[in-house]
Structure 1
Amino acid sequence: MSSTTAPPATPAADAAPRRLTGRLRVTLAVLLVAQFMLAVDFSILNVALPAIGDGLGFSLANLQWVATSFALPAAGFTLFLGRVGDLVGRRRIFLGSLALLGAASLAGGLAPTPDVLIVARVAQGLATAAATPAGLALLTTSFPEGPLRRKALGLNGALMSAGFTTGAILGGVLTDLLSWRWAFFVNVPVALAVVLIAPAVIAESRPAGRPRIDLPGALSVTLGLLALVYGLTQAGEHGWTHPATLAGLLAGAALLVVFYLVERRAAQPLVPVQVLRKRTVAWGNVLGLLAFVTETSLVYLLTLYMQKTLGFSALVAGISFALLGLGTVAGGLLAPRAIARTSATAVLVGGGLVQAAFTAVLLLLGDTPASMGLLLPATFLGGVGNMLAIVGFMVTATSGLPDHQQGLATGLASMSQQVGITMGTPVMSAIVTAVTGGAVSAAAILDGVGVAVAANAALVLLGVLIATVFLRARHDRAHA
């Protein structure tokens, strides 16, 4: 790939500042606000879905498309649009996608029919697929590799995870106090503010040349991810043996194999195979996928538990996640210091062990409100562990690569994040459905959630094992 010109605010690695300058503070604030808003969008409509169905006349069978129509493009187009941003200019893609997000959010809030709402959700998903990797690439190229980048990635990870939790809370509050339409409208002023401020503080990162886009690679990976995410959403709704589930998963797997074969032979590949073979990139992204699968799906499981087993309202259930949000912020602030003293691998392993331990504690939940005395501290401490793992993943997956490959690295990291967020809930939903057999009694839901929580903790421990076996601490220190 051709080289890019680093932003003027990015000093040379050997003369990197140890503290944030005034301009870098504003740059960081703008990028973090945008990423927080994008994270909120993933969950803000979850508790509003019944109200949207009543308000616009969605059938129960079609209501899930409000979420799926966003998730498919958000996950499927992330890698491709991240690479486009790397080629035509990250700031340009970032600003354009946020403008699209604001317009789509306005259209969704004003939607008079289900069809208009679905189109708005598709546009929101495409905007998210473009803005997330572009924003992360701007973050990594604006801050030199080392302490400042670790700090920026720590804050970014904390706010993104907190944004997902905040979305669940905010969606319940807005729907109960105002209308589900405000879950869309809230994006508009934030997107407008970022679009107006960002050009003054964020420098463009332009390629020196414009190589051809690897169209076969782009098509195969995009269609593969779309098929994979579709299969997972069908698994959550209909189960793992449903024809739509199997067709989506098998087609997705086949297309991703095609993508790898295409990339091996392409003259200018979308993702150079030598980058995929880099240990920190490959295994770092696997760990990132697991980190996002487990914590975001745990929010779904605990929402189900609090509403169906304990009988809490959507508003109360949403507010209960405030401690989880605080835990992720604490983990994001702690992670850069911990990485500086040890290594990203050590923080990945330590964070995963903490998350697994406090996820396993949730197996002790009962059918009375007294269990909240266990749930609240466990989610706080589990959130700390999860955020340690997420920041460790971000540092691992984006370190040791030149600036002109940061769009690729952050595109891969963003893809892992988006697919993880998207697939976690349907996977855990399928487990609950398999255990309960469709029963909706408080006791049946408690049993189903218990099995899914055990599977969740097992996935976290799998991540710990992968980090321990495949990422070496001494290699990690050299590039962190």
Structure 2
Amino acid sequence: MKFIPKDKPSAENSGHDLWGAVTLALGMLGLVYTLVSAPEQGWGSVATIAGFAVSIAVLAAFAVIENKVKHPLIRFSILKEGWVARANLSAVGLFGSYLSFQFIVTMYLQSVLGWTPLGMALALLPAGLLVATSAPFADRLIEKFGATQLILTGLTALGLGYVLFLRVGTTPNYVLDILPSVVLLGIGFALAFPSINVQATAGIKDSEQGLAAGLIQTSTQVGAALVLAVTTALVSGHGQAAGTVSAQAMLEQYRPGLILSAAVAIAALLVAAAPKRRRVRT
């Protein structure tokens, strides 16, 4: 770094958005905390209602700040450019459903089937191998088929994998009942993840590539946090007294979380498949 001259900050890009960062962080933390604690506090309790109200108010303050400061953390108008909005919504659905499904499967394999952590990791290994081995070829696939087509194919594979997993019972056959979903999970993520990142920055001018790239990373984290929080709330809300839960009862406890993962992936697929709106120039 000592041999590379430093760029001087320009007047156009000087400044910061401290309060935007603070309100966004506090609003998201409050929302996730409220979702996770709601089953214990009660969805209609004063604490839960107040938590949602305060979180929404803080996020609303963030939106107001971003529209007023000279150099906002997120320039909302960028969502109207290129494929940015669609790519970010796809990222929310991809990561939200993917991490929530992994959470449910981990609990299912260890709590319902009694597998060891090592056995659980080996069961999910094919998905990771598919993602890792396909990474060097992602750019060529995107160039040949296009980012949109790969996103649609990937989200379709994910949704199908989640739906297939709904048929598992308390004595599944790994090859017939679990492995197909794991393989579809790996294929779907391998196709959709790099394509979403490409779509998120396509058509964006060079000076805002950093903003578009940062926005898509934020969407992945927000999607994962929010959907996982809702999944945790659903699973906790269907909990039963310790020591009295059978394997079948535990499976039914996790089923709403599985349904949510499938629903989120299908919703993301519908968003990705919607026709692109043409901007009317006046």
Q: TM-score range by the shorter chain?
A: 0.7 to 0.9
Q: Does 1:262 align with 2:65?
A: yes
Percentage of matched positions with identical amino acids: 31
Query: For residue 119 of structure 2, what is the amino acid of its counterpart?
Result: V
- CA shift for structure 1 position 385: 0.7
Name which of 219, 222, 228 aligns with 2:25. Answer: 222
- What is the deviation of 1:333? 4.5
Whether the aligned pair in 2 keeps the contact of 1:294 and 1:459 (CA below 8 Å) is yes
Alignment partner, residue 408 of structure 1 = 211
Equivalent position to 2:104, from 289, 301, 317: 301
Deviation (angstroms), 1:208 = 3.8
Distance in 1 (alpha carbons) for counterparts of 2:207 and 2:142: 25
Q: Which amino acid aligns with 2:227?
A: G
Selected match of 2:121 from 309, 312, 318: 318
Asked if 2 retains the 8 angstrom alpha-carbon contact of 1:398 and 1:409, the reply is yes
Q: Separation in 2 of the partners of 1:413 and 1:204?
A: 29
Residue in structure 2 matching 1:382, options 178, 182, 185: 185
Cα deviation, residue 251, structure 1: 2.4
Q: Does 1:468 align with 2:277?
A: no
Distance 2:130 2:43 in 1: 33
Tell whether 2:201 aligns with 1:398.
yes
Q: Any idea what SS the aligned residue of 2:266 has?
A: helix
After superposition, the Cα gap between the structure-2 partners of 1:353 and 1:279, relative to the gap in structure 1 and judged at 3 Å, is same
Using the alignment, how far apart are the partners of 2:15 and 2:50 within structure 1? 32
Q: Give 1:349's aligned residue.
A: 152
Equivalences for residues 14-163 of structure 1 within 5 A: none
The CA deviation at 1:443 is 0.8
Q: Could you tell me which of 392, 417, 420 is aligned with 2:223?
A: 420
Q: Which runs of 5+ in 1 are unaligned?
A: 1-198, 476-480
Q: Tell me which of the two structures has the higher relative contact order, counting C-alpha pairs closer than 8 angstroms and 6 or more residues apart.
A: 2
2:260 paired residue number: 455
Root mean square deviation of aligned Cα: 2.9
Residue 442 (str. 1) matches residue 247 (str. 2): yes
Number of equivalent positions: 275
Q: Does the CA contact (< 8 Å) of 1:236 and 1:426 recur in 2? A: no
- TM-score by structure 1 length? 0.52
Alignment check: 8 A CA contact 2:39 2:237 kept: no
- Which residues of structure 2 form unaligned runs of 5+? none
For residue 81 of structure 2, what is the aligned residue in structure 1?
A: 278
- Residues 1:399 and 1:208: Cα distance change in structure 2 (over 3 Å): farther
1:309 offset after TM fit, Å? 1.0
Matched-pair contact (CA < 8 Å) for 1:328–1:380: no
Q: Following TM superposition, by how much is the alpha carbon of 1:207 offset from its aligned partner in structure 2, in angstroms?
A: 5.8
Distance in 2 between residues matched to 1:441 and 1:204, nearest whole Å: 65
- Name the TM-score, length of structure 2 as normaliser: 0.84
Change (3 A) 1:305 1:284: same
3-state DSSP of counterpart to 1:346: helix
Distance 1:406 1:211, change over 3 A: same
Between the aligned partners of 1:384 and 1:223, the Cα distance in structure 2 is 35
> In 1, distance between residues paired with 2:134 and 2:41?
36
CA distance in structure 2 between the aligned counterparts of 1:430 and 1:465, rounded to whole angstroms: 25
Q: 1:431 to 1:388 in 2, by over 3 A?
A: same
Does the aligned pair in 2 maintain the 1:218–1:270 contact within 8 Å? yes
Query: Aligned in 2, Cα 1:244/1:470: closer, same or farther, shift over 3 Å?
Result: farther
| DSSP 3-state at the match of 1:364 | coil
Distance change >3 Å, CA 251–CA 332, structure 1 → 2:
farther
Asked whether the equivalents of residues 231 and 257 of structure 2 are also in contact (C-alpha less than 8 Å), the reply is: yes
